[in-house]
Structure 1
């Protein structure tokens, strides 16, 4: 005969131990899931920040090119007069 089947106290203790282990595992998985979601958010933030920086840099370079173009046009106009 199975001793656990004979002793209801031992069986209850085993069930309680299993429930405790399951709760511990669920909490660990919950924390891992939360950490994973947090890291995903941080990665998206960093990606968005890189995109913003690229756009700002492109805008600055375009403005610099426009100013250089205007200076060249003015210099050409002065040279032709």
Structure 2
């Protein structure tokens, strides 16, 4: 009986760890997307400012 509860506890822990890793991956992907978008916007603004200066 103890082996069954140990196996169940390991399975639950493994599932929780997998879920946490997925959440972290999603967070990092969303953050990278935001940063990329900000960089694109900054580049666009720099091009516009340069064009106006010339």
TM-score if structure 1 supplies the norm length?
0.65
Extract unaligned runs of 5+ from structure 1.
Answer: 1-26
Query: Which structure ranks higher in relative contact order (CA pairs < 8 Å, sequence separation ≥ 6)?
Result: 1
Structure 1 vs Structure 2 CA RMSD: 0.4
Alignment of 1:29 onto 2:3: yes
Extract unaligned runs of 5+ from structure 2.
Answer: none
- 1:49 Cα deviation after fit: 0.6
Structure 1 runs of 4+ off > 6 angstroms?
Answer: none
TM-score if structure 2 supplies the norm length?
0.97
Larger Cα-atom Rg: 1
